[in-house]
Amino acid sequence: MKISARTSEKIAKTLIWTAAVFVLAVLMFIILYILVKGLPVINWGFLTQVPRSMGREGGVSSTIVGTLMVTSVAVLIAAPFGIGTAFYLAEYTKGGFITRVIRFSAESLAGIPSIVYGLFGFIFFVIYLDLGWSVLSGGLTLAFMILPTIIRTSEEAIRSVPKIYREVSFSLSATKTQTIFKVVLPSALRGIANGIILSIGRCIAETAAVMLTAGSALRMSRSLFDPTRTMAVHFYILAVEGISMENAYGTAALLIIIIFLINVVANTLVNRFVR
Amino acid sequence: MPDKFKIEKLSFYFKDKRVINSLDLSIRANEILSVLGPANSGITTLLRTLNRLCDTDHDVRIEGDILMDGKSIFAPDISVTELRRKVGMVFEVPTPLPLSIFDNIAYGLRVGGRIGKKEAAERVEYALRTAALWDEVKDRQHIPAMSLSGGQQQRMCIARVIAMDPQVILIDRSCSGLDPISTAKIEESLSQLKERFTIILAPHNVQQAIRVSDRVAFMLMGSLVEEGTGEKVFGDPDDRRTSDYITGRFG
């Protein structure tokens, strides 16, 4: 059977359209389901009180703080090292042995399941370095987890800056460092920021690795050395141990809202400060 | 006139491919020298060697020497950034950096060291006036340089080099792709620039070479074929290959 070009065009269009609508529908369904189940639970008390009786009552304030602390530590540590490594790979090497080792390591790290990072963090940070279950142990572990993402996205962003910009900068008597800071970094900033936003999302959503390294304390943590519980860990425990499905949905809904807000704020900042 | 540049037996290899072949050429101070030839004659490479921009390319080997004011530009005590400040370059394609017009032109000044706001403004204005662009952009120096037209962008690139107050300006086929009016404006500013700068130009055609330059050099496959005044080289060439080029047998 022969199909005319016009018919095949129509069939292709319909298939692509169906795929897109299906994906969108599934996504919307998940988000809406959680918001519908969770939003009624969220009120001022839920946001400001610490959990009581294992999370059956009270709010989730300490887990919000815990999430923000662990994520901040992870990003503040991983971003400088990751961006620095990306600049080294993109600007300073011609593809020698060390470059290949670094790139291979980064790619291998990217493929490791997060629970393995968790186990490593537990053994190395929690026990060997004796940091205990703490914000610091959790943050450091997550920093290792997101490092490959930051390196890869930053390196891509740096490489996509046109070579001619560098040549123009050199021809105007700039040094390599000046060229990188005045021309390459500003041009690559949007791509680098996207990688960091992606990493923030992964940190916030992580459960296994955080549970093993930051613990699951319900108290409000006051320093980097206190144990803590992140939101994702909190509603995991609430759901798995059958403590309170309502509060689990409430926490999940809050998590979605927070991730959404972080994305909006980050994009606004990037648009404001990046040409 | 003393020699600004003295190129001695310069050969340039990219990997194993010879791009410039034992070139001898002198460039006098305050002259406009046009270097032209068909594509792949090694002209762009020659210009990139004069400000050592070729240092940024990989797998490059250079033989022979280039003397600037009598001193080798490859000498170990030569500062490459200082050399590039003295030998400015305008690229074939107009390339504004993703900055404002003002910041583009002040770029070379700022990387050279601290410079006051007032002095920067004065030097940017001077550069824009010399490149015949001031009247068009004086009220909008802080808009992105990308929003200028192609001809304006190229004059801005010339202004960007002038602002550094160099001794030599290398201009690589900068009028290709520009409309005749922009080309005329650029050629007009060239004749003024000559009083202050030595200009080495890769013109985009023979007519332009004759119009603007004091001397021309004709290159083919990395070798210098002949040099002299424009009228001589293109009116009554000594070498058959030159007359073949003008009459359009190749190139």
Q: What is the CATH number of the domain that holds A54?
A: 1.10.3720.10
* A28 and A135 part of one domain: no
Same domain as A34, residue A56: no
The phi and psi torsions of B40 (rounded to 5 degrees) equal 65, 30
**Whose CA is closest to B162, among B140, B202, B189, B187?**
B189
Judging contacts by C-beta atoms under 8 Å, the chain B residues touching residue A187 are 98
Looking at the fold, whether A219 and A262 belong to one and the same domain comes out as yes
- Give the A window 40-99 contacts with B, CB below 8 Å: 94
CATH 3.30.2350.10 applies to domain B3-246: no
Residues B99-124 pLDDT 10s? 889 999 999 888 887 788 888 888 89
Is there a single domain that holds both residue A66 and residue A144? yes
Are A101 and A177 in a shared domain? yes
Say whether both A141 and A182 belong to one domain.
Answer: yes
Q: What is the mean pLDDT of chain A?
A: 87
> Would the pTM of this model clear 0.90, i.e. be above it?
no
pLDDT of residue B250: 62
Tokens 């050395």 belong to residue:
A225
A165 → chain B, closest CA residue: B97
- Measured between beta carbons, the chain B residues lying within 8 angstroms of A164 are 91, 93, 95
Percent of chain B exceeding pLDDT 90 equals: 6
Determine what percent of chain B is predicted with pLDDT higher than 70: 96
Beta bridge partners of A159: none
Q: Percent of chain A beyond pLDDT 70? A: 99
Q: For residues A66 and A181, state if they share a domain.
A: yes
Cross-chain Cβ contact B56/A172 below 8 Å: no
pLDDT in tens, A72-129: 999 999 999 999 999 988 888 877 788 888 888 888 888 888 899 989 988 898 888 8
What is the SS3 string spanning chain A?
Answer: CCCCHHHHHHHHHHHHHHHHHHHHHHHHHHHHHHHHHHHHHCCHHHHHCCEEHHHCEECCHHHHHHHHHHHHHHHHHHHHHHHHHHHHHHHHCCCCHHHHHHHHHHHHHHHCCHHHHHHHHHHHHHHHCCCCCCHHHHHHHHHHHHHHHHHHHHHHHHHCCCHHHHHHHHHCCCCHHHHHHHHHHHHHHHHHHHHHHHHHHHHHHCCHHHHHHHCCCCCCCCCCCCCCCCHHHHHHHHHHCCCCHHHHHHHHHHHHHHHHHHHHHHHHHHHHHCC
Contacts of B51 in chain A (CB under 8 A): 171
Residues A15 and A96 in one domain: no
Which among A99, A163, A173, A275 is the top mutation candidate for probing chain B, defined by the most B β-carbons within 10 Å of its own β-carbon? A173
In this complex, the residue of B85, B91, B112 whose CB is nearest that of residue A168 is B91
Closest residue in B to A167 (Cα) is: B53
A160 confidence band (pLDDT: 50, 70, 90) = very high
Residues of A in contact with B98 (CB under 8 A): 165, 183, 186-187, 275
A160 shares a domain with A25:
no
CB of A177 within 8 Å of any CB in chain B?
A: no
Same domain, A24 and A123: no
Mean pLDDT throughout A224-233? 84
Count up the domains in chain A and report the number: 2
Please judge whether B53 and A170 are an interchain contact, meaning their C-beta atoms are less than 8 angstroms apart. Answer: yes
* Same domain assignment for residues A135 and A163: yes
Neighbours of A264 (CB within 10 A): 10
Q: How far is A90 from chain B (nearest CA, A)?
A: 14
Q: Do A10 and A73 have their domain in common?
A: no
Question: HSE-up of A111 (CA within 13 Å, CB side)?
Answer: 5
Which residue stretches of B53-198 are H helix?
A: 80-86, 101-111, 117-130, 134-137, 150-162, 180-193
Supply the range of the domain harboring residue A31: 5-41
Residue with the bigger pLDDT between B235 and A181: it is: A181
